[in-house]
Structure 1
Amino acid sequence: MTSHETPPVDVGTDVGEVTFVGTATVLLRLGGFTILTDPNFLHRGEYAKLGGGLRSKRLTDPAMEIEDLPPLDAVVLSHHHGDHFDEVAAARLDPDVPILTTPHAARKLTRQGFRRPLGMATWQSHPLVRDGRRLAVTSLPGKHAPDPLAKVLPPVMGSLLELERDGQRPFRVYVTGDTLLHDRLHQIPHRYPELDLVLLHLGGTRVGGVLLTMDDVQGVRLLHAFRPREAVPIHYDDYTVFRSPLSEFRGRAAEAALDTRIVYVDRGETHRFEVG
């Protein structure tokens, strides 16, 4: 799929798709539902606002524009940072689209004019229903920075998307969000075993020398511990604060003999997978 090309609207209920737009922005189609994650549509050379007067320069272009998006069932937003929800999204997304996010981000979205944000507590689930099918979205624990710096960064959540199917276990997609490995994260595979797909936020974001998102080492450790069937790395090489390039993760993952099949999807490309 080339830049600015709109993906097909209907991929059926037995096939899922992940289209990588850039940064943490992914268009996910699952069981007839269409979900957008962390909308970031700034262009190369523009600056994302990270709070506290900090900014980071974008090094890539998004693979599509907001106007290219199909109708959305919901947006899943890990947190309200400028490289995850920027001024382009604030100005041009449909203000009536449901946005599932943290309570902190929901308050900010309401002030920006969005009418349907839902602030979710950790482990809280919200169902989406479409044509008799059900997709449950659950807020999962995330930690954006070590203490005490965590207190000055916006709260962050991971997300679990479970497509419920009659007589079968749910098909599970875990979106890590901007998190580091931490103790509560290991509760996830205990509560939700048999993860089918992980969208893995990497990048090794560093500000003032402090690691704020998983780098290659932590990304491989998470896959070792969670053992999902497939993983798609995202959130790398897009901003100057990303210090762990995808090449480092590729090398470390290749040496690690993981049980997980890692699928590398370039910006603008689509990975199709079976849901049945």
Structure 2
Amino acid sequence: MWMLAILVVVAAVAALLYALYRRMTADWPRPKRRMPEHRPKPDAWREEGLYLSWLGHSTVLMQMDGVRILTDPVLFPRVGVRAFGWTFGPRRHVDCPIRPEACGPVQLVLLSHAHMDHLDHASLRRVVTRQTVVVTPRGTGYLARWHGPKAVYEMSPGEEIRLEDGTEIAAIEVRHWGSRYPWNRNMGYQGYVVRRGPWSVFFAGDTAATDLSAVKQYEPQIACMPIGAYAPAPFENAHCTPEQAWDMFLQTGAQVFVPIHHDTFVLSREPVDEPLQRLMAVADGDRVWPMRHGEVYYVKSPKSIEKPKRLD
């Protein structure tokens, strides 16, 4: 009897929260679900050079001279709280362009923070193996250890590490918040610069407008910058606008801007196609890779970074 009572209470609370969510998002866009235009084929990637594919939201699959790296893996239709075999939360309106298993073997996973649209257990379960190193903010390492990686490194902004294979990672301070649940008070959040050989890529994760000039010392060729989830105006306390993202990109000294964190989940009021349009209106278009879901860009050497080869 008591189990039934608990289930009734849980169902009632869930129904109330859902009703409040629907009310809050009544004027948010409702885009039609669509399939990705591209399907990356990592198995065909060669050892040399840099490959980069945007898989949606903040998930970037890249390969630096043979080392495969995945940022904030979110590869399933929904993110959110999982209970009774269901996931309660936002649904993708653009399907993931790749099966989780096809991402591997993944040698390095970078987690920017523990929010459910960035740290997704279902995705980690499918991409993390005994050969995978996971780098994550302070206070969140236990979430990654559940999936049996080779190693977990917790970092704080300003720290640097060098992995056994020579890959170097620097944690970068951003402006956001890290709690997975309201009672989590000690979970960090950050961006990363990852360097290997001649390559240097900055991954911002999630950030509001802030000073990113500290990134410049790492001489990144590419900066993966968030551009969505900024409306209404109070949301700018956690998420930058496209114009702010461009200004921060210029602070990093990077040559190429890769837009992320847009057109995948509806997390805010702005139309889903607005962030990229606003970015292109203020940016130097030659320095932006306006990647579609699953599209792959390949660069053989840093000297050709401004003339990437597009792959299906």
TM-score range, shorter chain: 0.7 to 0.9
| Residue number among 183, 188, 194 corresponding to 1:155 in the alignment | 188
Q: 1:274 to 1:153 in 2, by over 3 A?
A: farther
Match of residue 89, structure 1, among 112, 116, 123: 123
- On the 8 A contact 1:227/1:259 being kept in 2, the answer is no
Specify the SS of the correspondent of 1:60: coil
1:188 and 2:215 are equivalent in the alignment: yes
CA distance in 2, matches of 1:260, 1:223: 14
Q: How far did residue 80 of structure 1 move?
A: 1.6
Provide Cα deviations, 1:28-70, integer angstroms capped at 9, x if missing partner: 0112211011110121xx34349xxx94333221111211122
Mapped to 2, the partners of 1:8 and 1:266 lie a distance apart of 20
CA distance in 2, matches of 1:199, 1:82: 20
Contact (CA 8 Å) 1:223, 1:258: kept in 2 or not?
A: no
Q: Offset at 1:129?
A: 4.3
Relative to structure 1, the CA distance from residue 95 to residue 7 in structure 2 (aligned partners, 3 Å threshold; closer, same or farther) is: closer
Change (3 A) 1:90 1:272: closer
Letter in 1 for 2:53: T
Aligned twin of 1:136 = 168
Does residue 202 of structure 2 align to residue 174 of structure 1?
Answer: yes
Hey, what's the Cα distance between the residues in 2 that align with 1:261 and 1:137? 24
Q: Is the 8 A contact 1:206 1:241 kept in 2?
A: no
Q: Helix, strand or coil for the counterpart of 2:43?
A: coil
1:118-174 CA deviation, whole Å, 9 max, x = no partner?
1012122222344xxx321111112215xxx9x96942111101123xxxxx43210
User: Which secondary structure does the structure 1 equivalent of 2:42 belong to?
Assistant: coil
Q: Which amino acid aligns with 1:181?
A: A
Code of the residue aligned with 2:138 in structure 1: it is P
Q: Which amino acid aligns with 2:229?
A: G
> What is the aligned partner in structure 2 of residue 37 from structure 1?
71
More strand by share: 1
CA positional deviation for 1:24: 0.9
- List runs of 5+ in structure 2 lacking aligned partners: 1-35, 83-87, 303-312
Give how far 1:242 is off. 4.0
Partners of 2:139 and 2:186 in 1: how far apart? 11
- Bigger helix fraction: 2
**Higher Rg of the two aligned structures:** 2
What is the one-letter code of the residue matched to 1:64? I
| 1:120 aligned partner | 155
**1:103 matches 2:129:** no
* 1:125 counterpart letter in structure 2: E
Please report the RMSD computed on the Cα atoms of aligned residues, expressed in angstroms: 3.1
Q: Helix, strand or coil: the match of 1:27?
A: strand
Hey, what does 1:167 align to over in structure 2?
Answer: none
CA distance in 2, matches of 1:55, 1:205: 19
TM-score by length of 1: 0.79
TM-superposed deviation, 1:265: 1.1
Please give the residue correspondences for 1:1-276 in structure 2 after superposition, counting only pairs within 5 Å: 6-13=41-48, 15-43=49-77, 46-49=78-81, 55-96=89-130, 97-111=132-146, 114=149, 116-130=151-165, 134-144=166-176, 154-164=187-197, 170-183=198-211, 185-189=212-216, 191-192=217-218, 194-205=219-230, 209-211=234-236, 212-244=238-270, 247-256=273-282, 258=284, 261-276=287-302
Shift of 1:195: 2.4
Normalising by structure 2, report the TM-score.
0.71
Kept in 2, the 8 Å contact 1:34–1:73? The answer is yes
- After TM superposition, the structure 1 stretch with the greater mean CA deviation from structure 2, 60-69 or 104-113, is 104-113
Residues 112 and 94 of structure 1, relative CA distance in 2, 3 Å threshold: closer
Question: In structure 1, what is the equivalent of residue 23 of structure 2?
Answer: none
Cα distance, 1:94 vs. partner? 2.9
| Distance (Å, rounded) in 2 between the aligned partners of 1:208 and 1:229 | 29
**Residue 162 of structure 2: SS of its match in structure 1?**
strand
Distance 1:89 1:196 in 2: 28
Give the 3-state SS of the residue equivalent to 1:236 in structure 2: coil
Q: Which moved more, 1:106-115 or 1:33-42?
A: 106-115
In structure 2, C-alpha distance between the alignment counterparts of 1:245 and 1:129, rounded to whole Å = 44
C-alpha contact (below 8 Å) 1:19/1:270 kept by paired residues: yes
Classify 1:206/1:49 alpha carbon distance in 2 versus 1 (closer, same or farther; 3 Å): farther
How much identity, in percent, do the aligned residues show? 21
Output the amino acid matched with 1:221: D
Do 1:9 and 1:70's aligned partners in 2 also have CA atoms closer than 8 Å? no
